[in-house]
Structures are given as C-alpha cells and as structure tokens.
Structure 1
Amino acid sequence: MTMINCALIHALPPSDRRVFGRAEAASFVGASVGYFDKLVRAGIMPAPLPLPGVKRWDVRALDRALDGLSGISESQDFDNEWDRLVQ
C-alpha cells in the first residue's frame, strides 16, 4: 500500500498572512535575500520573530521599518489628515 503525505506550506495567500519567511520578507521590501540579511544585521530591517526552529518576519514590523525609511509616520495617516482638513 502506497501512502501519500501532502501538507500545505501556506494555507493563506501572502496578502492574508501576518508573517513571512526570509525569501518572502526580502521580496516584500524589494531586496535580494543576501541584501535583506545585511539590512537585518545592520538593524535597518527588523530581526525575525523569536519562534523556535523557524525564522519568520512580522509584516507589520517590515511595514514600520519601510515607513521609517521613507519618512512616513503614523501622524501622517491619510485618513486623519483628511479629517483634519475637512473640519
């Protein structure tokens, strides 16, 4: 009797996941894996989450790091800015 063992690597599409593996995190920030590793070592990109046995990066932490590099801050939230202008 032959048994087939199948497992889903990712049950959700990238847009619905909270964490990415190393290659996905690098792609998310627009860098090669090697360059992403350099950015992490330099503290420019966040370190992976402390999960046993795997390296995963929080998408929100990656977003915050990119926001910091581009000069975007939470105080520049477009919805809040619009609310302020129409009051």
Structure 2
Amino acid sequence: MTTEPRLMGRKDAAAYCGIAESTFSLWVSTHKMPTCIPGTRKWDRRAIDAKLDEISGIGVNDNEDPYDKWIRENGDN
C-alpha cells in the first residue's frame, strides 16, 4: 500500500489543487493558501485541504464574529 506524502513542494501542491504553479504562488501571497512550513519549502496537505474547505464554504462557522473573520482573512495586511 502506497500513500501520498503529507508534505509536498510547490509544484506538487499546485498539481494537488489542480492549478498552475503561478496561480498557487498568487494564492499563497494573497492568503488563499497557507504558506509553506517555516524553514522548509514544503506545504502540508491537511493545511491545503483546510484552506480549500474554507474558500469553498465547507465547514464555515456561521457564528464567527465578523471582526474575527476579517482578521483571519486579512491578517496584518
């Protein structure tokens, strides 16, 4: 039984999402996708899944405070 590695580089992460590497880079820079794990050039598959769930509306917390949501989505930009 072979399993996919949990960590992946930018090329594999983009392919996992079904988008071009340049689009993946844009999504990372605009916080649609998580950043790589600090000190590496690897992305966590579960973190990518969580962000995809978030942007597609799966598992959205309807009780979230609007200010907290804004901070989560916009950070310190």
TM-score relative to the length of structure 1: 0.62
**Counterparts of 1:16 and 1:47, CA distance in 2:** 20
Cα shift at 1:16: 3.0
Cα shift at 1:74: 7.7
Identity rate of aligned residues, in percent? 35
Higher-Rg member (1/2): 1
Superposed CA RMSD: 1.8
Alignment of 1:1-87 (within 5 A): 15-51=3-39, 54-73=40-59
Residue equivalent to 1:5: none
Regions of 4+ moved over 2 Å: none
Cα shift at 1:70: 1.2
Structure 1 unaligned regions, length at least 5: 1-12, 76-87
* 1:1-46, Cα deviation, whole Å (9 max, x unpaired): xxxxxxxxxxxx5x43110101000011111001100000001100
Which amino acid in the other structure matches residue 18 of structure 1? R
Structure 2 unaligned regions, length at least 5: 62-77
**Counterparts of 2:21 and 2:11, CA distance in 1:** 6
TM-score relative to the length of structure 2: 0.70
Q: 1:38 to 1:29 in 2, by over 3 A?
A: same
